[in-house]
Structure 1
Amino acid sequence: MGMRYRDYLVGARIYGCSTCKTHLATIHSMLSRAFNGQHGRAYLFEGVVNVIEGEPSERQMTTGNHTVRDIYCVKCGTILGWKYDFAYDVSQKYKEGKYILERNLLVDVQ
């Protein structure tokens, strides 16, 4: 499969994978802290790096039905959250193309 290159982020606060500390996102790409993941609190991000996207699947969530893809750390393979591909409810369309990262799977890295 070959070597995977990772992006390294620069900024005041960088979130990384709690397992291997691979850079994932900056505080500036965070849109909201008011989300819940499968295992507790989660953050909504506009963009993340160094992740692999899984296959799309339909999920019934507290805010309605969505098509999402699980996202995994490119280095260690830890599942980190998901990406919203499609929201069926018009009021949830703002989530499309955005990422959820679970708080307990993140660490601050510098």
Structure 2
Amino acid sequence: MGRLFQVTLDGKIYSCRHCKAHLALSDDIVSKAFQCKHGKAYLFSKVVNVTVGAKEDRLMMTGLHTVADIYCVKCGSIVGWTYETAHDRSQKYKEGKSVLERFKLDGPDGSNYYWVSHEAHIGGSDQDDV
């Protein structure tokens, strides 16, 4: 296996809670109104140090989307998903953007989100039906 190269970010950084690899900048948050099966999640315009899994169609609260899970390049933990295609015209703004699950991140202020919200299945912008 080859050498692992990682991007180092400057500023307010969100990082992998397991290995502390940099994943995104606070300035790249598009929305904090997302939900996943483990609680809150953030939509980012740009993420780094991730690998992309296989594409699949998922029926989410906002309709059908073609998405791919994203994994931390350093430790391999799943950290969220990326939107490949939004099948509803009103959701096209998500294409090419990625969602990072809060409980899998360390925040820019050093906070972590290890707890799992009991409100995770009540609603929100997007949620897996799995």
* TM-score normalized with structure 2 length: 0.81
Kept in 2: contact 1:37–1:100 (CA 8 A)? no
Q: Deviations over 1:17-62 (max 9, x none)?
A: 0000000001111111000122110000000000000010000000
Q: Which residue type is aligned with residue 106 of structure 2?
A: V
Q: Find the counterpart in structure 2 of residue 80 from structure 1.
A: 79
Could you tell me how far apart the structure 2 residues matched to 1:19 and 1:54 are? Answer: 19
Q: Find the counterpart in structure 1 of residue 100 from structure 2.
A: 101
- Can you give the 5+ residue segments of structure 2 that lack an aligned partner in the other structure? 111-130
* TM-score normalized with structure 1 length: 0.96
State the SS of the aligned residue for 2:107: strand
Q: Find the counterpart in structure 2 of residue 45 from structure 1.
A: 44
Going by fraction, where is strand more abundant, 1 or 2?
1
Count of residues paired in the alignment? 109
C-alpha RMSD over aligned residues: 1.1
Could you tell me how far apart the structure 2 residues matched to 1:37 and 1:80 are? Answer: 11
Overall identity of the aligned pairs, in %: 54
Q: Find the counterpart in structure 2 of residue 7 from structure 1.
A: 7
Superposition misfits of 4+ residues, deviation over 4 angstroms: none
